[in-house]
Amino acid sequence: MTVRHQLSGTDSGLLSLELPSQPMHSVALMVLGCPEPGGHPMGIDELRGHVTARLAALPALRWRLAAVPLGLGRPVLVDDTGFDVSAHVRAERLPAPGTAKALDRYVAAGAERRLPRDRPLWDLTLVDGLEDGRQALAFRFHHCLMDGRALLATLAELLPHAPAAPAPGIPGRWEPLPFPSRRRLLLTAARQHAGAVGRLPALVARTRRTVAEIRAERLASPAPPPTKQDAPWTPLNVGLGASRSVARVALPLEEVRRIRSRAAVTVNDVVLAAVAGALRAYLLDAGALPDRPLVARVPVVIDPAGPVRTYGNRFAALSTSLRTDISDPAARLAAIAAAAGEAKRLHAMADPMLMSWWLEQIPPALAERAVRRGVRLRRDHPERIEWNVVVSNVRSYREARHLGSQQLEELYLTGPPNGGVGVNISVTDYCDRLFVGVLAFSDSLDRPGDLAAHLRAAVDELGATVEEAAGSLPA
């Protein structure tokens, strides 16, 4: 058997979304501290050896795409028989003085270039020349390979708990299987379609039942989640050019938790409220804040209990209101928490795998044609949007991670903007801070530094107003 892994419907759909001006890879930016006493900065040869020793435990880093002829079936991932670690692990140096803005520009430029499909869909760059003497790692990986949860499992293999930890107790070598023949790929597609056709009647019945149940619940709900017609057009939704912008900010996790406790909401509610406050301020500065509240698309992990996975996508998404029509931060947080709670309740009623199963019914050739048609429609009808922004919240590591003798100090995740959603915001907690990474079309977010500043201010404002509101209540 030469096929290692077949892309799921969700994986294949993410691959089909890729266009010359719409790369579909994510970026993890890791900033390393200075070496601990007795240690030394990471070198490129050492980093390549470090990665090579862990390839046996990270199969997705060894696999490349094998497309089914004529796009008749979902692509498969197979061993790259000519794998060369030096083609994936490289070194770059920022021009002096190596500021944070220069690092952001470097990440943005990397987000503009598609990953080559004739090799495994990732690369890792060791970035030197930061102004404070530190180093950074920029890990680009196609979204069809892994979601946020699989990414963190992958990084956990590459960044152990203890400094200078040896390679795991597994063989560093792996034996690639031969590249599959055209005939085998077609047979794989034929089996795939046969299985899909056999499941279609049950899938149709399941979908009708689920849609009817959710529709009834929406009608009975006092505040149903927003629909596709509820998102107002904003400059954040331009998103058609090739250029990208990046924003980063680190927020105090303890302050976010304090707000959560004082307001009796969840950390995710506080994150959404901070994003809402920042976007509201950003659009007010531009004189472009709509009367209707912004709508966020929030990915939700649907992994069942089981072993940790290092590849694949298992998530669904819900829509919720950011209530940017409310000026008071404390009242906005309460409204966001109520809206998110109702969105989660209705989302829990849906079968999380329905979308992926429906995507398995569509050959990639048709899916790619639909994506191109969607881009043309967005150009002709920019007001037709479903969401204003994507907001992901991924739980990360509680304990510090290391690479050699250097500690991981900052961890920013960014997902690709696409499909009329020009701004993608990813939040992850690491140790005692909350790291926010923003990747956007430059024509959607032309002042990334302003949005980062507004995110900091939004948390401070939330903390002050929530404290004031709590202080006015009886003991």
132-136, 198-202, 266-270: least confident range: 198-202
HSE (side-chain half, CA atoms, 13 Å) at 269: 27
The reply to whether 285 falls in a domain is yes
Q: Are 91 and 46 in contact (CB under 8 A)?
A: no
In percent, the amount of the chain with pLDDT more than 70 equals: 95
User: Of 155, 151, 138, nearest to 311 (Cα)?
Assistant: 151
44 Cβ neighbours under 8 A, 6+ residues apart = 89, 90, 91, 126
Domain that holds residue 273: 225-391+430-471
What is the distance between the alpha carbons of residues 266 and 259, in angstroms, rounded to a whole number?
A: 9
Residue 170's pLDDT band (cuts 50, 70, 90): very low
CATH number of the domain that residue 462 is part of: 3.30.559
Q: Which residues pair with 435 in a beta bridge?
A: 250, 428
**Tokens of residue 250, six digits:** 């680190």
Residue 172's pLDDT band (cuts 50, 70, 90): low
**Tokens of residue 139, six digits:** 């890990």
The reply to whether 366 falls in a domain is yes
The reply to whether 323 falls in a domain is yes
HSE (side-chain half, CA atoms, 13 Å) at 138: 19
pLDDT at 252 over 60: yes
Peptide bond into 382 cis (omega under 30): no
What is the distance between the alpha carbons of residues 300 and 319, in angstroms, rounded to a whole number?
A: 11
Residue 378's pLDDT band (cuts 50, 70, 90): confident
The reply to whether 455 falls in a domain is yes
Amino acid found at 404: G
Higher-confidence residue of 171 and 118: namely 118
Determine the pLDDT at residue 470: 65
Residue pLDDT, tens place only, 341-364: 999 998 888 877 788 888 888 888
Pairing of strands 244-252, 315-321: unpaired
Residue 126's pLDDT band (cuts 50, 70, 90): very high
Query: Coil, strand, or helix at residue 236?
Result: helix
Determine the pLDDT at residue 4: 76
The reply to whether 414 falls in a domain is no
What is the distance between the alpha carbons of residues 246 and 424, in angstroms, rounded to a whole number?
A: 10
Higher-confidence residue of 228 and 397: namely 397
Residue pLDDT, tens place only, 44-54: 999 999 999 99
Number of domain units in the chain: 1
User: Of 455, 381, 463, 387, nearest to 418 (Cα)?
Assistant: 387
**Tokens of residue 265, six digits:** 């909401």
User: Of 95, 27, 119, 14, nearest to 368 (Cα)?
Assistant: 14
The reply to whether 121 falls in a domain is no
What is the distance between the alpha carbons of residues 325 and 296, in angstroms, rounded to a whole number?
A: 14
Over range 444-455, report the average pLDDT: 96
The reply to whether 448 falls in a domain is yes
Residue 211's pLDDT band (cuts 50, 70, 90): confident
The reply to whether 278 falls in a domain is yes
